[in-house]
Amino acid sequence: MIMSFLLAAPMPATNAASFNPTHVGSITDDATTELDGAQQIYVSGNYAYVTAGVDDGVEILDISDPANPTHVGAITDDGTTALFGPSGIVVRDDYAYVVSYDSLCSIL
């Protein structure tokens, strides 16, 4: 699974058809990152929080440099974290709220 970040120029107010996004950077799933089967992304400040359905986890990326997103940390399902097949995610204050396949919500 490859995550791509697109450079988004300001949307023209009167002519949306002329909006042309361009590729800026990406990061690929590997043994360190938990991005296999990425489902949803939530961006808060300089961080992106990604749920990964195949890796059964949540990946946290530093996106302060969109051309070079970097791994910050991750948490995976271990039987107590209830992150089997995570999909939706919302981050508020110091917590991430995650909906996964077999549970309503996890707080990280």
Q: Which residues bind Ca ion (CB under 5 A)?
A: 29, 36, 55
| C-beta of 4 vs 12, nearer to Ca ion | 4
Q: Is 79 left (phi over 0), alpha (psi -120 to 50) or beta?
A: left
Smallest gap from residue 64 Cβ to Ca ion (A) = 22
| C-beta of 9 vs 70, nearer to Ca ion | 70
| C-beta of 34 vs 63, nearer to Ca ion | 34
d(CA 38, CA 56): 9
